[in-house]
Amino acid sequence: MSQPSVLAALLSGLRSGSIEVVDLTQPLSSTTPVIQLPPPFGQTQVFELEEISRYDDRGPAWYWNNFRSGEHTGTHFDAPVHWVTGKDLADVASVPASRLIAPAAVLDFSEQAAKDPDFLVEVDHIKAWEAEHGPLPDGGWLLLRTGWDARSGSQEEFLNADENGPHTPGLSPECARWVAEESPVLGLGTETVGTDAGRAHSFDPAFPCHSYLLGADKYGLTQLQNLAALPPTGAVVLAGPLPIVTGSGAPARVLALVERS
């Protein structure tokens, strides 16, 4: 008798609930928080819908819309070409589809971020996690849980900015370099508006996660939700950005498969 195929086993697990699908995506609307840069830099577009027809004389049996959005609005994927260090590397349409499905390591720093919104993850934090859970997954995602998704209903609370700029958690410059150059992961995922900490504009280099990771042909996922529903290891992430030709990134539907006993 032939053994069931891997795909048949996957479908069976999804139907039975032994494999749970966790949606890591923030719903996309006009109220979705977006990054704000100081003048004179250009600004990204807030998501907008323009109705084409809605069961009326413009189209009696159908409802549809045009939409306008920045590439880096809401839950989105950063391609290497997004940053000057990766300007000769892949655009979002050129990212191999096989790299859009990968295992995940979830590192929980929500307690630290609740006490200090400027909390920075250091290499020693990751090494301590590895001592408990094993090495970061080769060709996988490093997902940074900080509890920041609880703020996603408010632009002001999500950016958490004052006269000195935004205050959100992230990686230190040395940790960003280590993740880019020495770790085996293919990218970094965060719950904040970008992969970098809020005060990364003043780091050396500025915005080190963007500079180091994208320059190393790695990727970013931002504004993730529901990382609290994932185990430290074992989840598989499916990241589906729009394949925009020459695009620097794209809004993405990001899902995780989690095996439940």
Catalytic annotation, residues: 82
Structure tokens at 5: 């195929």
**Residue 130 burial class via C-beta count within 10 angstroms: exposed 0-12, middle 13-18, buried 19 and up:** middle
Judge contact between 211 and 83, C-beta under 8 A.
Answer: yes
Distant-in-sequence, close-in-space partners of 103: CB < 8 Å, separation ≥ 6 = 137, 139, 140, 141, 233, 234, 235, 236, 237
Tell me the Ramachandran region of residue 195: left when phi exceeds 0, alpha when psi lies from -120 to 50, beta otherwise: alpha
Give the integer Cα–Cα distance in Å for 102 and 31. 30
Cis amide linkage into residue 40, ω under 30° from 0? yes
Distant-in-sequence, close-in-space partners of 194: CB < 8 Å, separation ≥ 6 = 35, 72, 207, 209, 210, 220, 222
